[in-house]
Structure 1
Amino acid sequence: MKLDSKDRRILDMLQRDSTISNAELANAVGMSTSACWRKVRALEDAKIIERYGAYLNPAKAGLSFQAIVHVQLTRHDPDKVEDFIQAVNRRPDVVECFATTGQADYHLRVLCRDLVAFNAFLEGFLFKQTAVESAQTNVVLRDIKKHSPIPV
């Protein structure tokens, strides 16, 4: 789907506030409500808009410990890698996971209640994964930039 200027404006506005009404969105973009609704539906159908949601404050939700864990695998056997990926996807405390180039194979963003809970994550989960050779942790001291809209 090729994006036009109105599509881009709709996407920008929805990223900033997904609770905006269709009427407000249409007015801001300069379209009729029905045309705006059709554009939004087309963006959803094309999977450009994957989902809507709310951003939570982890600390206020009781998750004040945040870390980035850099994981190296012992070997890249496809079955072991798939087992690792599936295990990570089942963990609610792993809120993001990226496979990357460089020294680490995977980077996990982990949210926990505290250091004790994080240690339980490492010992009770991560180091029990047969594909994991080692992990290095960076504790997040503060968030600088997050939830940024994707430039469209």
Structure 2
Amino acid sequence: MPSAGSELHKLDRTDRRILDALQRNGALNNQQLAEEVGLSPSPCLRRVRALEEAGIIMERVTVLDHKKLGLALTAIILIGMDRHTPERFEEFQRQVAQYPEIQECYLITGQDADYMLKVVVPDMDHYHQFLLNQITRIPGVSGVHSSFVLRRVIDTTALPLKYLESGG
């Protein structure tokens, strides 16, 4: 069942092939994409535009190698809040949205935490400064638990398209 504010869109096999190809390589131009999915360029472009207009394709990005850029430390931070009020959560979210070190922020349940952050920094010294000077200074933060990534076992942005309804 779709969540509030979302709509499920029926996709046929060609739409799924387009999405799969673009997830693997968002830099494909329309000609390359059309060849890969077995369409002529005009219908391929129409389908991509329809997927964009439907909000299924949200954006295309370039994934960078963090280690080659000197960002060798990835931390997962669990954050506990002192009060569970909309105002407290909104302020926290507004503040963390300003920090480029944070790649992902989730409001979570099932843990002794309210938020989970994925943070990327050069090293432990930078992490320590980021934690003390930014995260712990956000009003309402009452607990912080850090874990550090030893190895990326799976690191993908691709969604599992196999769960989409089969169509034409």
Alignment TM class, shorter chain as reference: over 0.9
* Distance in 1 between residues matched to 2:33 and 2:123, nearest whole Å: 41
Q: Which runs of 5+ in 1 are unaligned?
A: none
**Aligned ranges 1:20-99 → 2 under 5 Å:** 20-99=28-107
Identity %: 39
2:5 alignment partner in structure 1: none
Do residues 105 (structure 1) and 114 (structure 2) align?
yes
Deviation of residue 51 (structure 1)?
0.5
CA distance in 1, matches of 2:56, 2:158: 13
- TM-score calculated relative to the size of structure 2: 0.87
CA drift at 1:145: 0.5
Q: CA deviation at 1:148?
A: 4.3
Structure 1 residue matching 2:69: 3-state secondary structure: coil
Q: Distance in 1 between matches of 2:137 and 2:49?
A: 44
Q: 2: distance between equivalents of 1:133 and 1:66? A: 22
Q: Root-mean-square deviation (CA), in Å?
A: 1.0
1:123 pairs with 2:132 = yes
Q: Structure 2: how far apart are the matches of 1:149 and 1:77?
A: 34
- Matches of 1:117 and 1:7, distance apart in 2: 43
Could you list the per-position Cα deviations for residues 22-64 of structure 1 after superposition, in whole angstroms to 9, with x for gaps in the alignment? 1121122221100000000001111100110111111111111
- Which stretches of structure 1, 4 residues or longer, exceed 4 Å deviation after superposition? none
Instruction: For residues 68-124 of structure 1, give each alpha carbon's deviation from its aligned partner in whole angstroms, at most 9, with x where no partner exists.
Output: 000111111221211100111110001101111112111000011111110111110
- TM-score scaled by structure 1? 0.96
